[in-house]
Chains A and B, each alone.
Chain A
């Protein structure tokens, strides 16, 4: 039993704790409340009220009325989850059973795996707040995102019915097309930072100001000002491609209700459908987190002290560590609200417009943008 001593138990325990915190403590609540925000914001934008009644069901425990907080309806996600769990798990007779059951899992797992490399906070309790601080962080994110298409493709194919199949075909071509502009638009950022590690990306932004807001370090140089132009272009392209990668409106062609019923998850019900739903929103969270890390300084709050490894166990350090984690997820939630806002503003693209936009405009602009960035980096010191 020699090899048992070689296994770094502490590291594994810390990783598991961080993963559990990230998934069950942060991401799943954010997912469920993003769904709620989606319904509520869409309603407010359309001059309606949205779900405003479901309180926390404390009447089950003998209280007179359900607990209503703020705008009301905050218990809606709980009700939704219970509904998903209790509904009939229906598998149509004509489907390819094995892949039909496999597909929701494949939709959910990659979205959650992406979170492994995201630095969601500074040091806390003597631990760096990232599950796996690998030196290919951003590539890992792209790789896992590209795996995410399997869930959708298999769902459409195994459903053995035409609408899901059309949806999955659209999904695969759309995701492959936009992976290119997504990757290329991240290259200028990586050129500026000079590293693929996401923690290093944040470190660079702490020292030189956030890429999108270069004045956050207190001074603004000509070089930063010049680099701001390509960074802005890349930010726009990256965000647009992220919309397409996560199948959000205006690019939600794989599940466009008006043409394809519900696209690739037409035949799914109950918890299997919920897994697709969760996977989609988890992918949105992962995408927003990448945007935050690359362009908006990650967990950094300007003009505030930063924890070191030693100070992270003192009470002040612990407070600061939690503040940084909160800041990170506050930024993520901000981007998510932007996602929702855009969804209820823009109509859906046509598929040829989508392909044209991806291949003829975003791809080329991103490519040229790389050269501009490289030129600025080489010429302006």
Chain B
């Protein structure tokens, strides 16, 4: 991937990420998040990880965020727009961010392999979709099945809970 594209998409992604937080209008925030997801997908594509990139768009930008937007649009959001910044929340947020960045820096500095540049990726013999499939259905088959059962249980739980709410 050309470094120009990498920097362009990274900058865009971060800009949209910041706009998610700064925007007072929830719809604007949601759309910024979508744009940020799209830039992230572009970064994945730049790493030749087409599958992950496309799934990122398909699942997050195409399905999850549409539902988010759907809900946001149905709510009355005038109160949300009027709300001003809360000083304490701002300070708390800054503190948490600082803590997180400090922790990240500590981990990276303690990680010797992170100091030297990563070797260039070799050209894969099989395409990435096949690799993902092989990994899921051979090496990580048990975790994959377990996650599947977990998701099934969760979705059944959601249906049961929402049904009880109706009565």
Chain A contact residues, CB within 8 Å of chain B: 3, 6-7, 99, 134-136, 139-140, 142-147, 149-150, 153-154, 157, 165, 168-169, 172-173, 175-176, 179, 196-197
14 A/B residue pairs, CB under 8 Å, sorted by A: A3-B4, A7-B2, A134-B50, A135-B128, A139-B51, A146-B57, A146-B61, A149-B62, A153-B66, A154-B31, A168-B73, A169-B70, A176-B63, A197-B127
In the assembled complex, which residues on chain A have CB atoms less than 8 Å from the CB atom of B34? 150
- Residue of B with least CB distance to A156: B73
If the complex has contacts A136-B54, A139-B54, A157-B27, are A150 and B129 also in contact, measured as CB distance less than 8 A? no
Q: With the chains together, A61 CA to B39 CA distance in Å?
A: 50
**B8 on the interface (CB 8 Å rule)?**
no
Partner pick for A172 among B4, B58, B66, B129, CB 8 A cutoff = B66
In the assembled complex, which residues on chain B have CB atoms less than 8 Å from the CB atom of A134? 50
If the complex has contacts A143-B57, A144-B57, A146-B57, are A179 and B62 also in contact, measured as CB distance less than 8 A? yes
**B67 on the interface (CB 8 Å rule)?**
yes
Contact status B58-A139, CB under 8 Å: yes
On chain B, which size bracket covers the interface? 20 to 34
Contact status B66-A150, CB under 8 Å: yes
In the assembled complex, which residues on chain A have CB atoms less than 8 Å from the CB atom of B67? 176
Q: With the chains together, A143 CA to B69 CA distance in Å?
A: 17
Q: With the chains together, A172 CA to B27 CA distance in Å?
A: 15
**B3 on the interface (CB 8 Å rule)?**
yes
- Residue of A with least CB distance to B38: A147
In the assembled complex, which residues on chain B have CB atoms less than 8 Å from the CB atom of A175? 66
In the assembled complex, which residues on chain B have CB atoms less than 8 Å from the CB atom of A172? 66, 69-70
Contact status A140-B54, CB under 8 Å: yes
Contact status A135-B127, CB under 8 Å: yes
Contact status B70-A173, CB under 8 Å: yes
Contact status B129-A147, CB under 8 Å: no
Contact status B54-A157, CB under 8 Å: no
- Residue of B with least CB distance to A138: B54
- Identify which of residues 103-144 in chain B touch chain A, using a CB-to-CB cut-off of 8 Å: 127-129
A330: min CB distance to chain B, Å: 29
Partner pick for B27 among A3, A99, A135, A176, CB 8 A cutoff = A99
